[in-house]
Amino acid sequence: MPETEAPTRGALTTSFAAVAAALTLAVAGCGGGSEADATGVGFEDCITEPTTCNSGERADGGDLVWAVDGKWEAWGQADIYGSSLATSIINQPLRPTVFSFDQDGVIHYNDGIYAEAPELLAEAPLTVAYHIKPEATWGDGVPIGIDDFVWHWRATSGDEAQCQGCTPASSYGSTVASIEEAEDNTVVVTYVDGYLDSEWYSAGVITHPAHIAEARGHAEWRTDPAVMAASVADFSENPPLDYSAGPFKMTEGVLGEYAKYVPNPEWTGSQQSTLDSLTLKYIGSADAMATELRQGTIDGAAPSSFDPEVLDQLASEESVKYSVAPQSGWSHIDANLKNPFLSDKALREAIFTAIDADDVNQRAYGAAYADIETMQNVLFRPDSEYWTDQLEGSTLGSGDIDAARGILEAAGYTWQDEQLLTPAGEPVTLRYRAGIEGNAFTPIIQDLVITYLAEIGIELQVDPIPNGELSSVLDEGDWDLIQFSWIETPLFAASAADYWGEGNHTGFQDDRVDAIVDELATTMDRDRAAELNNEAAQISLDEAVQLPLAWTPALVMVDKDVVNVRDNWATTMRVFSNVGEWGFIDEDA
């Protein structure tokens, strides 16, 4: 869910306190998993104090090296090539975020850029004010201002007349009617008539500095859509060595390999680094990360996947702290409805009925986290006020082979020598794809799916996804069945559009879902938005578009002297949500 009670509808202005209080209540309802069940050594206080655990006084100085397991394919974040999680992570020490959520679901606006929270000025049309700190700069003495808002608007507009041939990372710009400068260093964004968003406060409004676009040779970005597109490509292709809107500045970097940062002396936010330097380097597997951590060549890592055997290695190492708990990713298996076989709902339903989700979760994830639970709702966790059992009465994920065969027989399928044949007599063959490299969970899931589907006469051709290529595989539809994890945040209003709306990766189209997406774009009522998103999710499950598995367990491991690193289920950035506070413990404090 690209997972909050919203500001009171109809209020012309909304204070930071009101927004924060409302979001705290609602995000807490979305749930952060079973924190009391978290396992590990050295992070025990995270059970009762998730926002302050592993804290300590920091020593001045130190070079902290952190491993990341996602290969970033671009440096910029305004186009689709830089929309990956890996690119967001590598930019997190310097990117101009609007806000983040902490582990308690409390929203924190970026006090290094904004003097206060975004302000709702009007609903018709939707109008939002951003109050920029006068001292907020791009790390080079140039203040953050209206041009940066306008540049991002054009970059994400989807309009050839503004950005020629651009493939934006979001549709934000297409909903904006105007951006104007107001008094007291305020920028006012007015959206197109009829557009509403119950999560208006969450919009990403800037990504890159307009003046740097000009300095790099794209001075006519305001008037020439081809030049505007060239500036977007420039930010994507070249490392951000000449600007920063965060606690660190990048000093060197090689695409997909490493990036090195030093503290940004112009940063005025509350997250102030005590480090001499921070280096993020790519290491492809949790096992390799654990080895380097034990050898002292890195200081920490939070891999996206790991082999449970790594936990035994970490538990035996006195110099290491680690923690495992469900985090922001949810695992699922999807069907590509553009495949001629899978365009048939009966076949999809039979496939997902044959797969035993409880068995998959216990075998794949149970060794890492014993209390793993099978998902019954693809948007909300069980402790959310919006949770409903979307699989009640369904055979999906039951592992009931007899029921699966019955579905097929009723639809006219037959078998010849245990090979499933379509009603037209054609053998059913499918290609199954998942990221295998560096992932201990997906090979187990893959082997189980092969076994389950063999029992209904389907032979799978497995085709592993190379590391770093998931986005392109999804975009190109180069798969029949695919298993991966969506990474979530506590924002849900756009989920129906992202997952099941026009242009979604599965090829699923339903007029009922399209109507839901349209209504979501015209409501400020967060309860109604949750209801609508649940309806869309229910439709997708009733149509057997995907099979949800589990909120996946995540690992964070650090050297015992590293403080203020803690995992965060409520943000895709996980541990990086407070990267400016990381440091080495002051032994003399």
Residues pairing with 176 in the sheet: 191
In CATH terms, are 36-321+556-584 and 326-552 the same topology? Answer: no
The region, left, alpha or beta by phi > 0 then psi within -120 to 50, assigned to residue 163 is: beta
- Mean pLDDT (whole number) for 27-50: 63
- The verdict on whether omega for the bond into residue 143 sits within 30 degrees of 0, i.e. cis, is no
Instruction: Name which of 267, 159, 263, 139 is nearest 212 in CA terms.
Output: 139
Match 């092969």 to its residue by tokens: 450
Number of H helices, E strands in the chain: 15, 21
SS3 314: helix
pLDDT at 136: 98
pLDDT at 561: 97
Span 129-177, pLDDT tens digits: 999 999 999 999 999 999 999 999 999 999 999 999 999 998 999 999 9
Q: Contact, 442 vs 286, CB < 8 A?
A: no
- Averaging pLDDT over each range in 23-32, 191-200, 226-235, 325-334, which range is the top one? 226-235
CATH number belonging to domain 36-321+556-584: 3.40.190.10
Give me the helices (H) in 256-400, please. Answer: 286-295, 309-315, 345-354, 357-365
Match 């070079």 to its residue by tokens: 63
Percent of the chain with pLDDT over 70: 93
pLDDT at 123: 95
Q: Contact, 240 vs 85, CB < 8 A?
A: no
* Tokens of residue 243, six digits: 């600007």
Residue 352 amino acid letter: F
- Averaging pLDDT over each range in 352-361, 480-489, 496-505, which range is the top one? 352-361
Greater model confidence, 235 or 488: 235
Span 495-519, pLDDT tens digits: 999 899 988 999 999 999 999 999 9
Average pLDDT score over the chain: 91
Confidence check: pLDDT of 9 > 60? no
Instruction: Name which of 330, 279, 315, 284 is nearest 300 in CA terms.
Output: 279
pLDDT at 35: 41
pLDDT at 83: 84
pLDDT at 18: 39
Q: Is the dihedral of CA 229, 231, 237, 240 positive or negative?
A: negative
Q: Contact, 260 vs 249, CB < 8 A?
A: no
* Tokens of residue 396, six digits: 């999906």
* Tokens of residue 548, six digits: 């949800």
Span 202-211, pLDDT tens digits: 999 999 999 9
Domain boundaries, the chain: 36-321+556-584, 326-552
pLDDT at 470: 87
pTM, 2 dp: 0.81
Given 3.10.105.10, 3.50.50.60, 3.40.50.12780, 3.40.50.150, which CATH number is that of 326-552?
Answer: 3.10.105.10
Q: What is the spatial distance between Cα 580 and Cα 306, in angstroms, rounded to a whole number? A: 26
Question: How far is Cα of residue 175 from the mean position of the Cα atoms in its chain?
Answer: 22
pLDDT band at 39, cuts 50/70/90?
low
pLDDT band at 182, cuts 50/70/90?
very high
* Tokens of residue 320, six digits: 């290491």
Q: What is the spatial distance between Cα 568 and Cα 145, in angstroms, rounded to a whole number? A: 30
Instruction: Name which of 187, 109, 199 is nearest 523 in CA terms.
Output: 199
